[in-house]
Amino acid sequence: MRLFIAEKKGLGEVIAQALGNGVNRGGYIECGEDVVTWGSGHLLELVSPEQHNPAYAKWNEADLPMKLRPHRYQPIERTASQFRTVVGLIERASEIVHAGDPDAEGQLLIDEILTYTDCNKPVKRVLINDLNTEKARQALTRLRDNSEFYGLSQSALARSIADQLYGLNMTRGYTLAARKKGMQGMLSVGRVQTVILGLIVHRYEAFKNHAAAFYYAVSAGFTMNGIDLTRCDGGEIPARLIVPEDAPTDDKNRITDKSYADNIVSMAQSQPVTVTLAQTDDKTTPAPLPFSLLDLQVQMSREHGISADKTLAVTQSLRDNFKAITYNRSDCRYLSTEQFDDAPQTLAAVSSALKGHFPADVLASLDSSRKNRAFNDEKVSAHTAIIPTGTEPDTARMSREELTVYTAIATQYLCQFLPEKAWKQATVRFSVAGYDFVSNARKTILPGWTELLKEQDEAENSDEISAGDDAGNNLFSILTALSVNDGGTCKTVTIKTEKTKPLPLYTEATLLRDLQRVAKYVKNPRIKALLVNRDKNTEGENGGIGTPATRAGMLEILQKRDYFTIEKKKLVPTELGISFINSLPAIATEPDMTALWHEQQQQIEKGEMTCEAFLDELEIFIEEQLKNVDVSSLSVKTSPPKKNTENSQRERLDAPCPSCGKRIIATPKTYSCTGCNFKIWSTLAGKTLTKNQVETIITKGKSSEIKGFISTKTGKSFSAFVRLDDKATGKVAFEFPPRKS
């Protein structure tokens, strides 16, 4: 009997279809002399510390670093039944075909089962990256020996064990040190999650401590001989200065010396103008590629307020309960040739399922024979982009969030079969008094896919004067009427004084996007290159950490552990989160470790280093890190003595509730009444209120002046009184002290 072991049930079913004559037996499918079974992702997990040594059940500093090698596996409890099915089939098989996903994790996932069961039978490897029966059938004719992938499997194993060694030991080390200061709970350290928290904290501190500087944007207004400008806003052609090479500028090429800008004004004002360049270019904009998981998470967070973790859960439901979308944890944005062949069926299913969601004339313009850049077999990785399947789901049964996510995925897919947006770009350069100015305008010729999906504006240069589609100001038609050597007059020259702005606080969407390219924050050029090289074959990633499927979960964990809060979509670190990051060494909070590990994993894959040698070095590193744990700057809140009831375990205010007169207790986020809905949030505009301040607000109706609030609009610190506006709900408001004359 030949046994195929797939990573997940979906792929197992596709392999069975490719083999033919399948009979479903529950946890496996019989196909004549072949049998196909599957995992549910990993069926095995590394055992806990106490299973290595019962003494590790209690957290003791003397036991650090814990000795967790040689590594051992155990079946995951929730999938133990399927694991027993796989083991029984391995015992019956004469040959195994490894059908894990074609990446390092997929290789390890099946190999660890074969190692755990002491399997010594011949093992072949099949590489399938698309849930398409024909593609699977072709792959089955190209089986390879599994021993060819030993290095890949060992590199993934090294990473898996290393994460456990590092995370468990460092977490215990910092937690035990913090408990000596009176902290209750846990300080978790992880190779990826701590870097994510570090990004949040460092962005917040840079925002708060930003020292504004000024820069000067120079623009002009021109009149041109023989050109009627009555239809142009202001009766002048607007243009921006092309900053000269010798100008004093900042790192964004913005003029920083006002006297230099003033000199341009005096030189150019009322002087003759000559056109030095006048051109109109035909441009096209292709449809945005279909979604990867990360891009979908970013859009759902930005446009609908659906968290990344929730988006992942919704896509899993769309896949499992509705069969509505393809593999949902993909990091790829490209599609296969087979999926292009399936387009007529898929388009019909989507059009029917979402009838009424799209304009009829747009649906009529869909062309299943249009093969655009999204269909590229060479750029398909372990999986293809997330698109609808050819199965028409019952959208009436979908929740609001399921329908929102499905519609977004479908819309992105439909755009691939609409024409590209076509537009014209008019560019005119002017010379006046030795300085160059430029004006741009565009005009849409064919909206194409933008009739279905709003075009995202990627331009972030707020200094550029460039008109959009010709709508009212007629700048496009005016610019296209100009020719080289046309003359005119510089009527106005203006200077706009601007303040530099810090990078804004992260939102979930912008943080997820940044996690794809954290290498840009690495100062060491060698380590930066390592991170970028790590992603050279991964579309959309450019020196990132984590995976689209794990990043969202880590954000949820960090928030639940009170390392950051979300205020008006902004990720704001708590006092605990800030002090924790500042207590850790740089190697723990920056992505350098991921880069260095990757370098060694590559050596393991090539056979230049063993997994054991890598882990030996890591254990030495961890031991040194544990010797230097320092939490002296950590901000901790000690817990009150425990009493009998849940409410009595919380700190209680002396002031009674102004609404019902019952006691008010302090929770991690609020001061809440035990008898009614009265509550005051403990953190207000980035400032954590003290118990005494809250009691004053309750008893006197207003606090004394409190300093240290942070404006979410400007990032500046301010002081104010906090006034109790509603005794029934605890709603408060700021009251500002009178300005000093």
Which domain CATH number covers 205? 1.10.460.10
Work out the angle between the directed axes of helices 548-560 and 293-304 (0-180°, nearest 10).
50
Q: Which amino acid is at 601?
A: Q
Backbone φ and ψ for 546, nearest 5 degrees, come out as 70, -175
C-alpha distances in angstroms, 537 versus 19, 339, 534, 552?
A: 31, 21, 8, 22
Let me know whether 617 and 701 are in one domain. Answer: no
Let me know whether 300 and 392 are in one domain. Answer: yes
Predicted confidence (pLDDT) at residue 119 exceeds the cutoff of 70: yes
Residue 398 lies in a domain: yes
Predicted confidence (pLDDT) at residue 360 exceeds the cutoff of 70: yes
* Residues sharing a CB contact under 8 Å with residue 75, sequence separation 6 or more, in sequence order: 43, 44, 45, 83, 84
Backbone φ and ψ for 496, nearest 5 degrees, come out as -105, 115
Let me know whether 234 and 297 are in one domain. Answer: no
pLDDT-derived band at 249, boundaries 50, 70, 90? very high
pLDDT-derived band at 331, boundaries 50, 70, 90? confident
Let me know whether 137 and 38 are in one domain. Answer: yes
Let me know whether 44 and 105 are in one domain. Answer: yes
User: Contacts from 395-401 at CB under 8 Å and sequence distance 24+?
Assistant: 395/353, 395/354, 397/322, 398/318, 398/322, 399/314, 401/304, 401/306, 401/310, 401/314
Predicted confidence (pLDDT) at residue 643 exceeds the cutoff of 50: no
Residue 111: HSE in the Cβ half-sphere, 13 Å Cα cutoff: 22
Predicted confidence (pLDDT) at residue 468 exceeds the cutoff of 70: no
> Who has greater pLDDT, 646 or 518?
518
Let me know whether 7 and 134 are in one domain. Answer: yes
> Residue 344: what pLDDT?
96
Residue 740 lies in a domain: no
Kindly report, residue by residue over 691-719, the tens digit of the pLDDT: 888 888 888 888 888 888 877 667 677 88
The Cα–Cα gap between 309 and 455 comes to 26
Name the CA dihedral angle for 685, 687, 688, 689, rounded to a multiple of 10 degrees: -90
169-181 mean pLDDT: 95
Torsion sign, CA atoms 697, 703, 706, 712: positive
C-alpha distances in angstroms, 500 versus 45, 138, 215, 265, 462?
A: 50, 57, 7, 22, 12
Helix (H, G, I), strand (E, B) or coil at 54: helix
> Residue 741: what pLDDT?
44
Contact 38, 108 (CB under 8 A): no
Let me know whether 518 and 595 are in one domain. Answer: yes
> What is the number of domains present in the chain?
5
Let me know whether 11 and 109 are in one domain. Answer: yes
- Residue ending a domain, choose from 391, 417, 443: 417
pTM score, two decimals? 0.74
Predicted confidence (pLDDT) at residue 420 exceeds the cutoff of 90: yes
Let me know whether 6 and 133 are in one domain. Answer: yes
The Cα–Cα gap between 92 and 94 comes to 7
Let me know whether 186 and 223 are in one domain. Answer: no
> Residue 638: what pLDDT?
52
Residue 168 lies in a domain: no
Predicted confidence (pLDDT) at residue 185 exceeds the cutoff of 90: no
The Cα–Cα gap between 260 and 271 comes to 18
Q: Which amino acid is at 200?
A: I
> Residue 225: what pLDDT?
95
Contact 169, 64 (CB under 8 A): yes
> Residue 645: what pLDDT?
38
Residues of the chain with pLDDT > 90, as a percent, come to 65
Kindly report, residue by residue over 477-505, the tens digit of the pLDDT: 999 999 999 999 999 999 999 999 999 99
466-467 and 487-499 beta bridge pairing: unpaired
> Residue 463: what pLDDT?
35
DSSP of 624-693: HHHHT---TT----BPPPP-SSTGGGSEE-SSPPTTT---EEE-SSEEEESSSS-EEESEETTEEPPHHH
Domain of residue 678, residue span = 647-735
DSSP of 376-426: -GGG--SS--B-B-SS---GGGS-HHHHHHHHHHHHHHHGGGSPPEEEEEE
Token couple for 95: 């040959």
Q: Closest by alpha carbon to 321, among 333, 313, 329?
A: 313
Q: Closest by alpha carbon to 37, among 7, 17, 78, 76?
A: 7
Let me know whether 326 and 470 are in one domain. Answer: no
Backbone φ and ψ for 718, nearest 5 degrees, come out as -145, 165
> Residue 648: what pLDDT?
37
DSSP of 89-147: HHHH-SEEEEE--SSHHHHHHHHHHHHHTT--S-EEE----S--HHHHHHHTTS-EEGG
Backbone φ and ψ for 259, nearest 5 degrees, come out as -65, -35
CATH number of the structural domain spanning residue 317: 1.10.290.10
The Cα–Cα gap between 122 and 146 comes to 9
The Cα–Cα gap between 210 and 715 comes to 9
**What residues pair up with 435 in beta bridges, in sequence order?**
432
pLDDT-derived band at 537, boundaries 50, 70, 90? low
User: Contacts from 472-478 at CB under 8 Å and sequence distance 24+?
Assistant: 473/231, 473/232, 473/233, 474/231, 474/232, 475/232, 475/233, 475/237, 475/238, 475/439, 475/441, 476/424, 476/426, 476/441, 476/442, 476/443, 478/227, 478/229, 478/231, 478/232, 478/237, 478/441
Work out the angle between the directed axes of helices 150-179 and 104-116 (0-180°, nearest 10).
90
Specify the DSSP class assigned to residue 29.
Answer: E
Residue whose token pair is 């375990």:
649
Kindly report, residue by residue over 645-659, the tens digit of the pLDDT: 334 345 778 788 887
- Residue ending a domain, choose from 392, 417, 442: 417
**What's the mean pLDDT when you consider all of the chain?**
89
Predicted confidence (pLDDT) at residue 517 exceeds the cutoff of 60: yes
Residues of the chain with pLDDT > 70, as a percent, come to 93
Q: Closest by alpha carbon to 117, among 53, 39, 25, 24?
A: 39
Predicted confidence (pLDDT) at residue 465 exceeds the cutoff of 50: no
The Cα–Cα gap between 657 and 699 comes to 9
89-94 mean pLDDT: 97
Which of 60-74, 105-119, 199-213, 623-637 has the least mean pLDDT? Answer: 623-637
Helix or strand holding residue 714 (H, E): none
> Residue 143: what pLDDT?
97
Token couple for 367: 């062309």
> Who has greater pLDDT, 510 or 129?
510
* Residues sharing a CB contact under 8 Å with residue 595, sequence separation 6 or more, in sequence order: 519, 522, 527, 528, 530, 531, 534
Residue 637 lies in a domain: no
Where in the sequence numbering do the catalytic residues fall?
A: 327
Residue 654 lies in a domain: yes
Q: How many other C-beta atoms are found inside a 10 Å radius of the C-beta of residue 190? A: 20
Helix or strand holding residue 68 (H, E): none
Residue 154 lies in a domain: no
Residue 636 lies in a domain: no
Let me know whether 545 and 479 are in one domain. Answer: no
Kindly report, residue by residue over 444-464, the tens digit of the pLDDT: 999 999 999 988 754 333 334
Question: How many helices and strands, by DSSP H and E, does the chain display?
Answer: 23, 27
Which of 173-177, 204-208, 277-281, 636-640 has the least mean pLDDT? Answer: 636-640
Residue 157 lies in a domain: no
Both ends of the chain: CA-CA distance in Å? 91
Predicted confidence (pLDDT) at residue 740 exceeds the cutoff of 60: no
Q: Closest by alpha carbon to 383, among 422, 420, 328?
A: 328
